[in-house]
Structure formats: structure tokens, C-alpha cells
Structure 1
Amino acid sequence: MLSALISSYPKSKLSMEIASIPFLNQEEYSYFYSFFQDLDTESQDSPSKRQKLDEFDEEYSSLNQILNATEVPNSDFETPHSKIELPKWEFEMPDSKIEIPNSDFEHRASEMADWEQGRVRKTRIPSPPVGGYTAAEDSGGHRRRLWVKERSKGWWKYHNSDECPDDDFRKAFRMSKSTFNMICDELDSSVTKKDTMLRMAIPVRQRVAVCIYRLATGDPLRKVSVLFGLGISTCHKLVLEVCAAIQTVLMPKFLQWPDEERLKEIKTGFGSISGIPDVNGSIYTTHISIIAPKANPEAYYNRKHTSRNQKSSYSTTIQGLVDPRGVFTDICIGYPGSMTDEQILEKSALYQRSKMGSLKNTRVIGNSGYPLKDWILVPYTHKNLTWSQHSFNQKVNELNKIGKDAFMRLKGRWGCLQKRIEVKLQELPMVLGACCVLHNICEMYNEEMDVELSFDLYDNEMEIEMESRGISVNALEARDNIAHNLLHCRHG
């Protein structure tokens, strides 16, 4: 084809014409394209491929001979006045679209696109959850796969099954299965979460169990995460959510100020123990160790705990009023550890009740850290006590012991209160309140506490000087009369 094309032109113009041809015409383009296409599709050793290669070599060698035999004068290119008429070539693109095969890059790009489409389609293929992922349906009925870290739930499955003895369950959660089931039923509406298209919701029993176990043992979240097969952050979130639900749902039912009928029972119970009339509760204040807060840390600095532990200690407080069974009827939570019992009392709801006249004809028993008032009885603190005063102090101490023992059981059951609690200061009252509510539930349902859980309570009991108390004459006379009557009743 090339030989016939070259021979049809004069040799004098051959060199210029060959150098002037920028493109191939339609016929030449089709020839070369079909040649190389056939060459590429045929096998390496096919006879037709070898024949075409030989023909191409012959055409190429004849073209080289013609070009080598022709001398191209430089003057034709260098002389500006020489007039050379170049042939006019007309090159028209064919109407039909020529399909040029894809390059290797385009071929691989198309493969990647096909692979990506296949991968996306693969994620929507329904498949059972195996290995390291779970499956959930979306709104269109498809199922998506989520890669979730697999964790063992063997410990929780055992304690949540009928195979677990009640003793093992009580050791882990400080209560029987029946009491635990009651709590789950009460919190069901406020704790339940709906399943989403991404994952299944954690069951209510497991949510409540994570919170109660964390409060009961005080174990670090890392260990709680392993036992329940959940993430560390998930366990922390569950503890706060369940504590908030306990405060909202259970506190109005299990920790409330007694009504008239209940108040009569409380007075009768305390009267049978000590002989002191009209006692509606025993008050006590305990300290909970905390991390030093960033804001105003000196207010939470606890001098006595620092002296005892030989390192800087910070605390917050729980002040509670208990009935003869050790059930809380009033609590005041969250005031700094540097405050005295008297200062905390003045900021409590109990003190506001006394101002409103709600504590008329009733008395609260306190230790020497509280002031003597018309509605608060405290022991004599001066020396050289009379027989009646000594007998009064013995009775008051018996009632004070009821309040202190209640706090010992509170800290004994809920081990998180025995160590430095790692909760944000603004969330701490909610957690401490939940512990008090759970304590009341255990007391009301007669949950016995194991002997090994007993806790030696150590708190600040600071005696207040008489002169600083501002004691009324009526309060002094009332206490003296009670002491006198107790002595004569005992000997009578």
C-alpha cells in the first residue's frame, strides 16, 4: 500500500511531500488500524501473523530504500524566496465512530469500578452475623453488616441464667434475683432503648446489671467491660443512665419523707429502743473520697483524712436521716468535705422543714458534731456528768449507732463509696443518690449483707463548743427533763 502511494509522486517532490504529510487519510488509517488489531488478536505463533509481519517488513524496507536514494536539498528549506507548492491534502473524519480499544489504565479503572459496585452490592446481601460483624435491617428491608469487636459475654450469661445460684448472684450484685428483677421491672420504661438500623439495643437487664455491679464492687470500668462484653465507654454511659433513672423513678417510691402513719411507727420503734419519746430519726454525715476538683479544690480538702492517710485527701459528703431499720428518710448530698456537720445541716432540706414547722413534736438524734436545738437532741459533752446525764448519753449513743450502722452498710454494700470515686463532680450527687436508694431497697426487702462486706466507718466527728452553738434555754431544759425521766423510768 505504501509502495503504490510513494511511486505515484515525482521523486523531486517526494522528500518535501513526505515531510509535509501530518496525518494519514481515511484509507491509510483503516489499513494500519486493522493490521495492528489483527496482529494483536492473533496468537504469537500463528501463520497469518507471521505472514503479515513479513509483508510489513517488505513495505518498510522498500520505503527506506526510496528515502535513502533521494537527496533532499537544504536550500529548499533554507531559501526564503523559493516557492514550493505543497499538495493540498484533504482529510475528513469518517461519519462512523471508530472504537479505539481502551488503554491499560482505562481497563484497570473499569475493573476497579466494577469491583466497587460489586463490593457495595455485597454489603447489602443478607447474611447471618458471624465472626466480627453483626447484621441489621435498614428501612428498605436490606441488611447491612457492621464490623463490631467481638467480646465474650460468658460471665454475664451465666449470672443471667437459671443455672446461677442465688448466692453467686447476691455476691456479685449485693441482692437476690427477685429484688433485681423488681428493679428491672420498675426501670423498664425509662431504660429501654429501641433497636436501630445499625445495631441491636442492649437489653434492660444487662443495662441495670452493669450499673449495679459497678456500684457494688467499685471495679474499674475495664474489668466491667470484660465481664459484660461491652465497651468501656458504653459501660460508663450505662452507669450514668441507670443512676439517673433510679433517681427519677425509684427515689420517689423508696426514699421519701414519712407520712403521718409512717411517722408514728418510727416514733414507736425508736421509743422501744431507747425510751426517748417522739424521735423521728437518727442523723449522720459521712465523707466520700473524690479526685481534687479543678475549681475551688480547697473547699473539698479534708484535713482529718489527709492526716490519717498521710496524703492530700478531698471529699464530698452524704448526710442522711434513718428510721429504726436503717432506711433513709431524708438525704443531703454533695456539699464539700471541709464543711462541718452543723454547716451541712443548715443547708439541708431537713433544716428547712424545721423552719417551716414540719418537725413540731418530733426530735432528731445526732452526735456531738450537731448543735442542740428544740428538735435535735445531742449528748452531753462536758465533764463530771451526773447519773441522769450519763444514762441519757448511753441512750442517745444507741440511737446514733443506728444511723452510723446504716452508713456502714451503705458503704459495705456499694464498694464504689469505699475508694476514691472517679466521677465528675456535677454527676456525683446522682450516683451517690442512686446508692442510697438501692440501700433502702435492700433494707426494705430484707437483703442480708455478707459478713465479709462489713466496713469500718471513719468520719469527722467534731465536737462543737457550747458557746458557739447559740443554744436556747428551752432546748437545754427539754434535754434535762428527758434525762431525768429516763433515769427514773429505768429505776422504776
Structure 2
Amino acid sequence: MEISSFPVIPPEDLTQFYSSPYPELHNSSPSHSPLKKLRTDIQTDFLDVDLNDYKESNPSAIKDFLSSLFTMEEEHIDTHQFLQFQNPQNSYYSNSNVSNEQLNKVEVVQPKQKNKRPRNSSPVPGDPSTAPVTHQRRLWVKDRSKDWWEKCSHPDFPEEEFKKSFKMSKATFNMICDELDPVITKKDTMLRAAIPVHQRVAVCIWRLATGEPLRLVSKRFGLGISTCHKLVLEVCSAIKTVMMPRFVQWPDEANLAEIKTKFESISGIPNVGGSIYTTHIPIIAPKVNVGAYFNKRHTERNQKTSYSITVQGVVDPNGIFTDVCIGWPGSMPDDKVMEQSALFQRATHGALNNVWMVGNSGYPLMDWMLVPYTHQNLTWTQHTFNEKIEEIQKVAKDSFYRLKKRWGCLQKRTEVKLQELPGVLGACCVLHNICEMRNEGIEPETDDSFELFDDEIVPENPVRSAAAVQARDHIAHSLLHHGHAGPSFF
């Protein structure tokens, strides 16, 4: 009978086997190709399996099995067609799901003797011994339950439960799958069937939405841990490549005019083209340049060492990102992150004429950046202006709150490597825009302990334009007199 699954060998048993009783396998040189191939095959076959489930396996029985493979490889016997079980009741089936009745039906296959031919003789046409032999490769995989995903993907699965799990409706989820289908679809192979597109996207979105460890995602979807990690990175990369140009766009003239009108209706300040905000994403201490990612403010607040990277975003009145800058170290203040962004380059080249970006006190006052007054003893006019600025800033803060609340992976230190994290964060911003555009609200929770904390540090040079100082004073005076103090600076 065909054996499609087999108990997994823990790493410690593999190490024991490599070191003893065959030290030449552990110290094999590149010339020992059969031994190197055997070791590579064993490691490859068990790479996609949760090894923690088999820590109680019998080491001696496992050693016997590997010893058979080693002997077969030395004798050039195909290890994928030859499986010799001296005793079907032995202990390396102790942790598997194979029943005793199934074990009794296991056939013992004896190795075939090779027909030797004289070294200098020519192949005889029609001689079976000279015909090429094709071997069918066996794939050892661990059987995992896919019941949860099969239930979620069923058409009768309740819409409310699906949205609670994936933070979006079935219609939005299917739209994302259709957009990514040409990029992430894989073909079936002779070894296994390809993972469907919907399951690939579901693994990624579930991981982003819950922030669960990969081992829990693996159990929920019935896939290997390394497979789930690979799927998350592949789908995030596809989202960033395929969907970001469409769903994170700087507004054109028509959309910009509409944005200005909405922001003016919110605050009374004219010509506001966006609300800018910078948040921090916690990370594990990196191996290089660790000091650059040290977040002093979060460390003091949380009373434990914290590291982070930044996400700067500009949002419209609906909380949709029109520009993002991701990945700068957490030790950089908001004004330094802004100076490294494409937004700053766009403004330097005059693309933001007659447009205000509204920021908090962590940004400098410039010809295109409007920020609140930060000195002591504010006048009533200045205090009124700061309140209006806060109303515009609230739009950005609420948007970043929904971003982090919707994608729980942004609230905790992630397992993703630092060089791969910007792609994941970019995918979160794209999915956030899709949910906001399609009115996918966030389900209220009774225990909502998440709060958005991002300290504001006043720049060393808070004022960088004398003309902007006059413009801000004029807008503040106009707001106090309900627009009767004359036209604005622009």
C-alpha cells in the first residue's frame, strides 16, 4: 500500500543520528554525494512539518529506520520505493493516526537485485535491464485538519462570523482574491495540489488581522508553519505591487478640490489637502543598528525596552491614505521622517502650491505645513486656531487607530524580519483603504484596551518660513471672527 504520511523525526533525533553511529555522515565532504543527498532529502521532507508534535517519539526506532535509509543509499537502492518495516507495531507509529488494522495491511517490499552487466559491454536493444528506470517519489507530509477553513469558506457560513474573523465582508474578500488571482495562483505538481487562491489570501489576512503566532495560524488552516509564513509574505508583496498603485493615490485636481471643501467644512480652514500623522510599530530588537530603532519615549512609558519603525501617512477627510512613508527607524522624530519622505520631495519641487498639510506639534511650520502654536500663554485667537487644527488632526488619528485596531499584527512585536516588514505594513495600508472605501466598519468590542500612543516632540527648528508665520496668524484671526477678517493668505 502507498504510504502518504509518516511520523516526523524530531531535530534532536536527527542530530543524534548524524553524529552517531555514523560520524562520516555528520562530517561528510562534498564528494560523498549519496550521503549528502540523503541528509538533504530528510531535511527537505520534514521542513514543512510541525516538529513539536513528535517530541515523544522513540529515538531507537527512529534510528533503526534512518539506518535502513542510510544502508539503502549506500547500496544505491531507491529510498522512495523501498520501505521495510521489520515490525509494523513498532514505536515510531505510537504518535500517528494509523490504526492497528491499517498497520497489519502494510506490505513488506523487498529490494530488487540489480542485474549487473559487464563494464565494456554495449546495451542490448530490448533488454529490460538496460532500460531507464523511472521512480515515483514519495512525499512525507503530516496530516493536518482543514475543518475550520472549510467551514469558513463554505457559502453558508454566516456573514457576521466571517467579518468578525477577517475584518471584512465576503464580497470585499472575494474582490481582493480576484485582484490577486493572476499573481499568486500556483499550478499543481506531481507531488501535491496547489493551495487555492482564496486560502492563500485568507492565511495572510487572518495573520494580519489577529497577529496570532504562525504556529496557531498553521493549526487553524491545516498548513505547515513555514508554508504559512511564506504565504503571508507572498500575498503582502502581491498586494503592495498590484493593488497599492490603485488604492493609495495622491489626489488629482478634481479630488483635491473635493478634499479641500470637506476639510474646510470640518474646521473652517481653507485649502487643506490632507492631515499628516506618524505612528510607531513595535519590533524585536534588530541585529544591526539596534540603537537607531530604540524608542526612548515608548521605553519610558512602558517601563521596558522598546524598538520600533515608523509609518507616516497623509489621509483625506474620509480617513483614506493618499500618501505613506514606511520603514524609518523609531529613534527619528516626526520632522526627520517627513524630510525623508516622497511628500517632502513633492513639496520641495512645488507640487503642493496652494495646499496645506496639517500636522501636530511634532512637525515644523513651513510654506505647505500648518501646525498648532506651541509657545506658552496663548492668546484666545491662537487657542481657537489650535482647536481647529486638532479637529483636522483627529481625522488622521482616528484613521491610524482603525488601521492598528483592524490589523492586530501592528499592536505587538511581529515575527517578520526587519527587511520584510515594510512590505507587510504597506499591505496593511492598502487593505485599510479598501475597507474604508467599501465602508467596512470595525466591530465594537466590549473589552477595548487598545489606545493610540505616539508622543509629539517639538522640532529643534519649529519655524522654517516667515511667510508661513504670517499666513497662520491671518488664518487664526479669520477663524476667530468667523471669516469676517478678510481673505486667507492663499
Q: Please say whether Structure 1 and Structure 2 have the same fold, judged by a TM-score greater than 0.5.
A: yes
Among candidates 276, 283, 293, match of residue 283 of structure 1 = 276
Mapped pair 1:423 → 2:416: yes
Among candidates 361, 365, 376, match of residue 369 of structure 2 = 376
Give the Cα–Cα distance (whole angstroms) in 2 for the partners of residues 359 and 141 of structure 1. 67
Give the Cα–Cα distance (whole angstroms) in 2 for the partners of residues 153 and 310 of structure 1. 41
Among candidates 339, 343, 349, match of residue 342 of structure 2 = 349
The answer (yes or no) to whether the contact 2:319–2:396 under 8 Å persists in 1 is: yes
1:304 partner amino acid: R
1:449 partner amino acid: I
Give the Cα–Cα distance (whole angstroms) in 2 for the partners of residues 118 and 417 of structure 1. 44
Give the Cα–Cα distance (whole angstroms) in 2 for the partners of residues 381 and 166 of structure 1. 48
Mapped pair 1:447 → 2:445: no
Please report how far the alpha carbon of residue 283 of structure 1 lies from its aligned counterpart in structure 2 after TM superposition.
0.4
Among candidates 167, 173, 184, match of residue 160 of structure 2 = 167
What residue in structure 1 maps to residue 452 of structure 2? 457
Give the Cα–Cα distance (whole angstroms) in 2 for the partners of residues 327 and 458 of structure 1. 20
Structure 1 segments unaligned to the other structure (5+ residues): 1-112, 122-129, 133-139
Give the Cα–Cα distance (whole angstroms) in 1 for the partners of residues 150 and 163 of structure 2. 15
Over residues 19-44 of structure 1, what are the superposed CA-to-partner deviations in whole Å (9 max), with x where a residue is unaligned?
A: xxxxxxxxxxxxxxxxxxxxxxxxxx
CA 1:476–1:203 in 2, change beyond 3 Å: closer, same or farther?
Answer: same
Mapped pair 1:316 → 2:309: yes
CA 1:394–1:141 in 2, change beyond 3 Å: closer, same or farther?
Answer: farther
Over residues 328-363 of structure 1, what are the superposed CA-to-partner deviations in whole Å (9 max), with x where a residue is unaligned?
A: 000000000000000000000000001110000100
What residue in structure 1 maps to residue 290 of structure 2? 297
Give the Cα–Cα distance (whole angstroms) in 2 for the partners of residues 194 and 118 of structure 1. 24
Map 1:62-141 onto structure 2 (within 5 A). Answer: none
Give the Cα–Cα distance (whole angstroms) in 2 for the partners of residues 300 and 394 of structure 1. 33
Give the Cα–Cα distance (whole angstroms) in 2 for the partners of residues 261 and 319 of structure 1. 24
Mapped pair 1:203 → 2:196: yes
Give the Cα–Cα distance (whole angstroms) in 1 for the partners of residues 372 and 178 of structure 2. 44
What residue in structure 2 maps to residue 228 of structure 1? 221
Give the Cα–Cα distance (whole angstroms) in 2 for the partners of residues 244 and 117 of structure 1. 38
What residue in structure 1 maps to residue 398 of structure 2? 405
Over residues 281-326 of structure 1, what are the superposed CA-to-partner deviations in whole Å (9 max), with x where a residue is unaligned?
A: 0000000110111111000001111111211111100000000010
Give the Cα–Cα distance (whole angstroms) in 1 for the partners of residues 266 and 78 of structure 2. 80
1:456 partner amino acid: E
What residue in structure 2 maps to residue 215 of structure 1? 208
Structure 2 segments unaligned to the other structure (5+ residues): 1-74, 84-96, 100-132, 486-490
Among candidates 431, 434, 441, match of residue 427 of structure 2 = 434
The answer (yes or no) to whether the contact 1:254–1:437 under 8 Å persists in 2 is: yes
The answer (yes or no) to whether the contact 1:410–1:436 under 8 Å persists in 2 is: yes
Root-mean-square deviation (CA, aligned residues, Å) is: 2.5
1:237 partner amino acid: K
The answer (yes or no) to whether the contact 2:478–2:484 under 8 Å persists in 1 is: no
What residue in structure 2 maps to residue 149 of structure 1? 142
Give the Cα–Cα distance (whole angstroms) in 2 for the partners of residues 155 and 394 of structure 1. 49
Give the Cα–Cα distance (whole angstroms) in 2 for the partners of residues 163 and 187 of structure 1. 24
Please report how far the alpha carbon of residue 228 of structure 1 lies from its aligned counterpart in structure 2 after TM superposition.
0.3
CA 1:375–1:204 in 2, change beyond 3 Å: closer, same or farther?
Answer: same
Query: Which stretch has the larger CA shift, 342-351 or 421-430?
Result: 421-430
CA 1:178–1:142 in 2, change beyond 3 Å: closer, same or farther?
Answer: farther
Please report how far the alpha carbon of residue 144 of structure 1 lies from its aligned counterpart in structure 2 after TM superposition.
6.1
Please report how far the alpha carbon of residue 471 of structure 1 lies from its aligned counterpart in structure 2 after TM superposition.
2.4
Normalization by structure 1: what TM-score?
0.70
What residue in structure 1 maps to residue 48 of structure 2? none
Give the Cα–Cα distance (whole angstroms) in 1 for the partners of residues 371 and 80 of structure 2. 81
Among candidates 322, 330, 334, match of residue 327 of structure 2 = 334
Q: Which is helix-richer, 1 or 2? A: 1
Give the Cα–Cα distance (whole angstroms) in 2 for the partners of residues 183 and 142 of structure 1. 41
1:457 partner amino acid: L
Give the Cα–Cα distance (whole angstroms) in 2 for the partners of residues 168 and 131 of structure 1. 35
The answer (yes or no) to whether the contact 1:240–1:431 under 8 Å persists in 2 is: yes
The answer (yes or no) to whether the contact 1:288–1:421 under 8 Å persists in 2 is: no
Q: Secondary structure at the match of 1:320?
A: strand
What residue in structure 1 maps to residue 360 of structure 2? 367
Map 1:53-68 onto structure 2 (within 5 A). Answer: none
Structure with the bigger RCO (C-alpha within 8 Å, sep 6+) is: 2
The answer (yes or no) to whether the contact 2:80–2:138 under 8 Å persists in 1 is: no
Q: Secondary structure at the match of 2:270?
A: coil
CA 1:118–1:183 in 2, change beyond 3 Å: closer, same or farther?
Answer: closer
**Structure number with larger C-alpha Rg:** 1
Mapped pair 1:480 → 2:473: yes
Please report how far the alpha carbon of residue 455 of structure 1 lies from its aligned counterpart in structure 2 after TM superposition.
3.2
Please report how far the alpha carbon of residue 116 of structure 1 lies from its aligned counterpart in structure 2 after TM superposition.
8.3
Among candidates 455, 462, 476, match of residue 469 of structure 1 = 462
Give the Cα–Cα distance (whole angstroms) in 2 for the partners of residues 213 and 338 of structure 1. 30
Give the Cα–Cα distance (whole angstroms) in 2 for the partners of residues 255 and 142 of structure 1. 51
The answer (yes or no) to whether the contact 2:275–2:357 under 8 Å persists in 1 is: yes
What residue in structure 2 maps to residue 57 of structure 1? none
1:275 partner amino acid: G
CA 1:476–1:229 in 2, change beyond 3 Å: closer, same or farther?
Answer: same
Give the Cα–Cα distance (whole angstroms) in 2 for the partners of residues 264 and 432 of structure 1. 29
Give the Cα–Cα distance (whole angstroms) in 1 for the partners of residues 466 and 484 of structure 2. 28
Q: How many residues align?
A: 363
